[in-house]
Structure 1
């Protein structure tokens, strides 16, 4: 059982929904990003999605694109991202960490080398948005063999014919992208999300966490009420981009997590 599996089992036992937060590793700089990351569990975050900076983040809107660019300009790399996770693990051995990003940096490092390093750093799962199920032998299956959850995205365009293939080798949870488009480009609607979540739960047997388009405590609560949890990314990253203090960023995160946990 991974930390992710254990976390969702614990939340289910408590009758609680999950709150997942996304931050970009190294944004606006390594030390500040690490300070934010360290404060996330106390701010009510159940699972941390740690963004891996990449030069061509095709699924992401301007907010996260710019965060990745700031991190890259500051010298952030895959190795430094894993070091950030390892440093976080020195003080927290329970909060799950999901590395979210694109395949190129992992391919450049080498899959076997990466998986060994990721496990050593305390990474629990991977969301690699540009590897479809047809490429499962590339990273998904080796990752699961190494004890990492491989978390797949489902979207409003994932129809009943495609869905079984999408969830076939998924573990940990399914990330439902609530909108058609890039991150931060529109707002999620609970009425639209609810039937899709039920469909994916039935097909996968896994928790379904909803992201893209959640940016307020009220929206966090509304979406969590119809799903197993909610992810917020761009709204948090935009606070970091504005230069908010670590304390202010974490206070904002707490309002979002309180919303999800009130569902």
Structure 2
């Protein structure tokens, strides 16, 4: 996966495939690219999302009502490419749907549809060897997660990291948090000391002030729940052709307002 060579900290937004409607997901992705996204994390809706909080769970339920599946989410990437999306796309999916689809078929399909990487949050690093091998053979980056509870495993996980290393800011599920843990900055420094790929941080980051504080401690910021909540608020307007354009503009402006601190930031 080729990452931007600019000196700005990466903006990595997360949205759910099929939320609020499959065709609108494509337009939202393009709006995020216009807002300055470096990489898009495309979540695959799942009925038992262990890492996701209520906001993303509701988005998954909306998408599942429109019969979004792992296969359809992968095929949606091709449509995004045809519409002009050029940034790397990371597929965020749980392991069970991959297993049901078939591991080798999953990677073949992902490669065919121009997916750049995959992140499977419920697959422990120690059990991911076969999947990482299939990912590498398919030319995809397998994105590893490292959490504050991974202290004795940071060096090992970092040594195998591909694309970028995803640091979980705090324990628990995704969501909007008012504050970030004080120990987060020490944790990020330790991860960066061992990592040979860019280090991005996510989970709970939802305010420009938080991004302002974090930008000097990481190479990228993942924003999910705040954007997904905005999509939820705009869902009715996004559904109607006559109001969709204005809703997409509002969504793009909201995304830009969140990541303003990154616009002139130089990477360390």
The question of a shared fold, defined as TM-score above 0.5 by the shorter chain, is answered with yes
Per-residue deviation at 1:135? 1.5
Q: Do structure 1's residue 114 and structure 2's residue 106 form an aligned pair?
A: yes
| 1:140 counterpart (132, 152, 156) | 132
Q: CA RMSD in A?
A: 1.6
Deviates more, 1:40-49 or 1:200-209: 200-209
Q: Do structure 1's residue 82 and structure 2's residue 74 form an aligned pair?
A: yes
Alpha-carbon contact 2:33-2:85 (below 8 Å) kept? no
* 1:35-74 aligned within 5 A: 35-74=27-66
| 2:11 counterpart (12, 19, 32) | 19
Deviates more, 1:139-148 or 1:161-170: 161-170
Q: Deviations over 1:125-184 (max 9, x none)?
A: 11100111222233122101211111111111111x222332342201111110111101
The normalised TM-score by structure 2 is: 0.89
Aligned residues: 254
| 1:225 counterpart (209, 216, 227) | 216
Q: Secondary structure at the match of 1:138?
A: helix
Q: Is there any run of 5+ residues in structure 1 with no aligned partner, and where? A: none
Q: Deviations over 1:11-59 (max 9, x none)?
A: 2xxx211111000000011011111012211111111000011110001
Alpha-carbon contact 1:193-1:226 (below 8 Å) kept? no
Q: Secondary structure at the match of 1:162?
A: helix
Q: Is there any run of 5+ residues in structure 2 with no aligned partner, and where? A: 236-246
Runs of 4+ in 1 over 4 A off after TM superposition: none
The normalised TM-score by structure 1 is: 0.91
* 1:1-263 aligned within 5 A: 2-3=1-2, 6-7=3-4, 10-11=5-6, 15-92=7-84, 94-159=86-151, 161-184=152-175, 186-187=177-178, 189=180, 191-243=182-234, 245-263=247-265
